[in-house]
């Protein structure tokens, strides 16, 4: 099976929707909750979500 996402910028190898790495089914991805992911991909998504949460927390603290 192949899949082409309209949000994928092939020249930059990035997701235009999320302004970051294309990792299918990650939070905010059009495939989020719509596919079963491998344990390896689930771990990768978990690490991305943690990094995103840390960045968000830093921005919140910086704005106070």
By CB under 6 A, name the binding residues for ligand SF4.
Answer: 5, 7-8, 15, 17-18, 22-24, 26, 29-31
Task: Name the residue nearer to ligand SF4 (CB basis): 10 or 61.
Answer: 10
38 vs 63 by CB, closer to ligand SF4: 38
The least distance separating ligand SF4 from the CB of residue 26, rounded to whole angstroms, comes to 6
Of the CA atoms within 13 Å of residue 37, those in its CB half-sphere come to: 17
Backbone angles phi, psi at 34, to 5 degrees: -115, 5
CA distance 16 to 34: 19
């Amino acid at each position: 099976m192949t899949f082409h996402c309209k949000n994928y910028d092939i020249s930059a190898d990035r997701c235009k929707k999320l302004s970051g790495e294309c990792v299918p089914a990650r939070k905010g991805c059009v495939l989020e909750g719509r596919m079963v992911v491998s344990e390896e991909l689930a771990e990768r998504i978990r690490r991305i979500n943690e990094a995103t949460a840390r960045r968000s927390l830093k921005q919140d603290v910086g704005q106070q």
